[in-house]
A = this chain, B = another copy of it.
Amino acid sequence: MTQTNPRSASPDMRRRILDQASALLAESGPDGLSMRKLSQRIGTSTIVLYTHFRDKPAILDELFVEGFERLHGDLLAVPDNLEPVARVMELGRAYRRSAVANATYYQLMFSRCVPGFDPSAQSRQASKAAFAVLRDAVARCVDAGLVAPGDPVEIAHTLWGTLHGLISLELFGYLPPSVSGQARLEQAIEVIATGMRVAAPNTETPGIPT
């Protein structure tokens, strides 16, 4: 009753599968994550995977959600007591750190890197929690009059797009490695912050670190 599997064997096989799938994803990339290798790594046969998950996309779906939960957690770790605009920029830095640290996850989350996998509508909801952090931070800037008035959702989407775009180009190798991706993103969010702030009533904000 407490378990899906009343048997003693593999008390939390489901968790083991996901952990090993995550490790395999991080090591070998999306291509290297095959059902056969996964079962072999766990030490069982492939059929076990199908008793705990419907099919391969179902496993990827969980990793997809897990990736957004990590991203969400990394964004929540940004201090809450910063000056609003500075906090948005700090969120941008945290976003990049999280994406680069979990590059294969990021690939799974934002590109169709596995042939049969398309995240389910329910899993896509996980992305909204992470986005909400960014949106709320932008909304705080708008409410404080630190930014040109506008829909926080739209502004946050612009910001998200820029973050994702630069990181995506960086991870794909389109940006020359001479300058660090961090520095480039730094300049980009500076431009956007300036663009957002330009029409605001009070441009100068008191007590900003930078």
Give the interface of A toward B (CB within 8 A): 30-31, 107, 110-113, 115-116, 124, 127, 154-155, 157-158, 160-166, 168-169, 172-175, 179, 184, 187-188, 190-196, 198-199
Contact = CB atoms under 8 A, between A and B. Distances in A.
Given A31-B115, A192-B191, A179 B154 contact: yes
Contact of A161 (B111, B127, B169): B169
A150 to B, nearest CB: 8
A4 to B, nearest CB: 31
Give this chain's copy count. Answer: 2
Nearest to A191: B195
Nearest to A112: B113
Contacts of A196: 191, 195
Contacts of A30: 112, 115
A155 B166 CA distance: 12
Q: Is the interface of A mostly helix, strand, loop or mixed?
A: helix
Contacts of A169: 110, 157, 160-161, 164
Nearest to A199: B194
A188 B158 contact: yes
B115 A112 contact: no
A175 B157 contact: yes
Nearest to A158: B188
Given A194-B198, A195-B192, A198-B198, A168 B157 contact: no
Nearest to A154: B187
A157 B184 contact: yes
- Top 5 nearest A-B pairs (CB, nearest first) are A165-B165, A195-B195, A111-B111, A161-B166, A161-B165
B168 A168 contact: yes
Contacts of A115: 30-31, 115
Contact of A195 (B163, B164, B173, B193): B193
